[in-house]
Amino acid sequence: MKIRYDSPFWERMGKLYYIIVLNFLWILFSLPLITIGPSTVALHRCMFSLINGKEMNVFTEFYQSFKTKFVRNMMVGLIVVGFGMLLLSSRNFYFEIAANTSLTIYYFYIFLVFLFALFLVTVFPVLGTFDGTVLELLRISLFLSIKHLPMSILMVVIAYLIIYFCQMLIPLALIGVALIAFINSRIYLKRVANSLVIE
């Protein structure tokens, strides 16, 4: 029996291999937290190439993408991480104020978290496809996340479900972040990328 390496099965196995390797590279390059921005952008750019069927050396592609616009991507990454930590650390503060005054304040906090989640799943794909200043990128990421609200909500739900199952199935954690990036990149490319110029 002759094995066909161009069959759908082997094509899926090839993509799984890339997802595993890219997840490892993302963890490795994100270890100093300040580089999480460039590392996440590199992950998404590699996912774009994988989804579009582009032949690539995964290590070279990731490293080249990591270096491209490094300072810009690092600054956006630090802003995103900083704002996320601020929201997380202020949860009890908002809850205590709401308990003493009105629940409206806590609902406002929930709205901010929801808005941040929509922004979070959009900003790194945008960094991988759009050229501009930090403020322009932050603005367009927020704009696209709201303009394509159903898409953004779907991307948030997918990310949440994968993170949830990673806690139950430890082997899934080996591909968790890259799997989120792969699925959400497919959604992003299908719904948003037509309005942007991919470099």
Q: What's this model's pTM, rounded to 2 decimal places?
A: 0.85
Rounded-to-integer distance, Cα 129 and Cα 198, Å = 5
| Confidence check: pLDDT of 23 > 60 | yes
Rounded-to-integer distance, Cα 38 and Cα 99, Å = 40
User: What pLDDT score was predicted for residue 179?
Assistant: 93
**Per-residue pLDDT reduced to its tens digit, 109-168:** 889 999 999 999 999 999 988 888 999 999 999 999 999 999 999 999 999 999 988 888
**Per-residue pLDDT reduced to its tens digit, 165-196:** 888 887 777 888 999 999 999 999 887 765 55
> Of residues 98 and 65, which shows the higher confidence score?
65
Query: How many Cα atoms occupy the beta-carbon half-sphere of 157 within 13 Å?
Result: 7
| Confidence check: pLDDT of 102 > 80 | no
User: What pLDDT score was predicted for residue 121?
Assistant: 93
User: What pLDDT score was predicted for residue 198?
Assistant: 42
User: What pLDDT score was predicted for residue 10?
Assistant: 63
| Confidence check: pLDDT of 197 > 70 | no
Helices 70-89, 36-51: inter-axial angle, 10-degree rounding: 110
